Structure 1
C-alpha cells in the first residue's frame, strides 16, 4: 500500500486561524506549558496556539514529528 503524507498547512493560512483557540488547544497548551516551566498567554488565536504547541512540544520532547 502506497501511503503519501498529507502536507501540513501553515496555521497562518487557515481560514479559521484568527478565531479564538479551541478548548482542547487551551488544555494541551496548559499541560505543555507546565512541563516546560513557562506561562502561556491567556488569549490566543487558533493559529497562534498551534504554533505555540509546536514550540512547546519541541521543548518538552513531545514532538510528534518523525
Structure 2
C-alpha cells in the first residue's frame, strides 16, 4: 500500500460540490447576480410568469431557476 496522500480526482465515484443546497451556500444571502436576473427573466417570460423581484438572494434565485426549468422541461 502506498503512503501517498488521498487524491479525490482519482476516485471512481467522486463526490460532487455542484449539488449543494442553495440554502447552504456561504454566499446564498447575497443579492442575485446579473446573470441570474437575466436568466430568470427569460425563463419567466417563457413560462408566462411575471419577471422576478429585484431583491432576490442568490439562493432564492437559484431555487426559482430550478423550479422554472422543471416546469419548462429543461
Same fold, TM-score > 0.5, yes or no: yes
TM tier relative to shorter chain:
0.7 to 0.9
1:8-66 CA-partner distances (Å, limit 9, x unpaired): 0000000000000001100100000000001122210000000000000011112xxxx
Compute the RMSD of aligned alpha carbons.
1.7
Which structure 1 segments of 5+ residues have no match?
none
Runs of 4+ in structure 1 displaced over 6 angstroms? none
How does the TM-score come out when normalised to structure 1?
A: 0.83
Equivalent pairs counted in the alignment come to: 62
How does the TM-score come out when normalised to structure 2?
A: 0.74
Of structures 1 and 2, the one with the larger relative CO (CA 8 A, separation 6+) is 1
Which structure 2 segments of 5+ residues have no match?
1-11
Larger Rg: 2
